[in-house]
Amino acid sequence: MGVVIVTDSSSDLSSASARQYGIEVVPLWIVYGQERLRDGVDIQRSTFYSRLAAAKDLPHTAPVDEAEFAEVFARHVDAGNDVVAPVISEKISETYKHAVAAAAKFPGRVHVVDSQTFSGGLFLQAMAASELAKAGKSAAEIAKVLEAARATQHGYFITPDLTYLGRTGRVNKAVVALGTMLKVNPVLRIQNGVVDSAAQTRTFEKAQELLVEIVTRELRDVEKVRFVVGHANAPETGAREVTALRAKLGAEPRSLTLIEAGPTVAVHGGPGSLGIFSLIA
């Protein structure tokens, strides 16, 4: 009997990363009017970003439903494996609720963890879970590690255009309105599963500098920390942020990975968005 790690597409795991870590990614839905597309299955990142640039109406996302999770869980349980499923924060998406309902059909075999984060934060939890599974830890042990590690995780992100966050409702409308009215760029954070404002500055370029400063402020035990820098169709900006972060850390972290946001996340942040996530696990 082994342990399989399952997560959802808000983790921004590319197909290559999913294969590398042996993780199954269950897609959320990207919805254009009556058209429903599975993230990474029916629509790929390059197609999505091209379509987003030309779209008059912004698409929205829909959660993974219970039946979809149940089918995935059943396949692994029937093969003799237990499952650990870290998923997007329950305060952001109903995906967690549906995963829990599906897991109830397999008592003791499927452990769903509310990551209390998304994007690079969920990427890091899935990666840590995969390493623990390969090291022979049980599903229950892995779930406990992830739940404890939530106290160590941080996630901050910025976007050059608050329109996307305002239209999808993932951030307090007062934050969006204030930022738009005062023409400032807020640095947003996800904390305990909720997105709010951590700081603000006048330009997106200054926000990139402030993002690194906030992430490294009061940071301890760099060698134990996993980092992800995520970008939304802005690879050069992402690479510069990796360089800036590495220089500011002053020591080699446990890992530092650059990822591209997929449709599930980019729908809400918009192209050009940038985030830094960290975890000790």
pLDDT digits (tens, 9 = 90+) for 104-154: 999 999 999 999 999 999 999 999 999 999 999 999 999 999 999 999 999
Percentage of the chain modeled with pLDDT above 90: 81
Angle at 128 between CA 122 and CA 131, to 5 degrees: 140
H/E element, 134: helix 120-134
CATH classification at residue 264: 3.30.1180.10
Strand partners, 275: 157, 230
Beta bridge partners of 155: 277
- Predicted local distance difference test score (pLDDT) of residue 5: 98
The pTM (predicted TM-score) of the whole model is 0.94
140 and 14 within one domain: yes
Q: What is the pLDDT of residues 203-216, one digit of tens each?
A: 899 999 999 999 99
Question: H helices within 187-251, ranges in order?
Answer: 204-216, 235-249
Same domain? For 136 and 169 the reply is: no
70 and 38, same domain (yes or no): yes
Asked if 86 contacts 7 with a C-beta cutoff of 8 angstroms, the reply is yes
**Pair (79, 210) in one structural domain:** no
State whether 260 and 207 are in the same domain: yes
Residues 66 and 181 in one domain: no
| CATH code for position 11 | 3.40.50.10170
How far is it, in rounded angstroms, from Cα 242 to Cα 197?
A: 22
**Rounded alpha-carbon distances, angstroms, from residue 136 to 5, 73, 205, 218:** 13, 20, 44, 34
- Angstrom distances, CA of residue 256 to CA of 46, 135, 163, 231, 235: 24, 21, 30, 14, 15
170 and 57 in a single domain? The answer is no
If one counts the domains in the chain, the total is 2
What's the rounded Cα separation, in Å, for the pair 157 and 204?
Answer: 11
Residue of 96, 198, 94, 201 lying closest to 154 (CA atoms): 198
CA distance 223 to 204: 29
Residues 61-100 pLDDT 10s: 999 999 999 999 999 999 999 999 999 999 999 999 999 9
CA distance linking residue 117 with residue 154, whole number of Å: 9
Q: Which residue among 150, 176, 193 closes a domain?
A: 150
Identify the band that residue 39 occupies on the pLDDT scale cut at 50, 70 and 90: very high
Q: Where are the alpha helices (DSSP H) in 3-44?
A: 15-21
pLDDT at 173: 54
Instruction: Of 91, 37, 41, give the one whose Cα is nearest residue 60.
Output: 37
**Domain identity same for 173 and 269:** yes
Q: Does residue 116 sit in the same domain as residue 63?
A: yes
Report CA 276 to chain centroid distance, whole Å.
10
> Which of residues 150, 171, 203 is at a domain's end?
150
**pLDDT at residue 163 above 80?**
no
d(CA 281, CA 87): 16
Domain that residue 39 falls in: 3-150
Is a pLDDT exceeding 90 seen at residue 198?
Answer: no
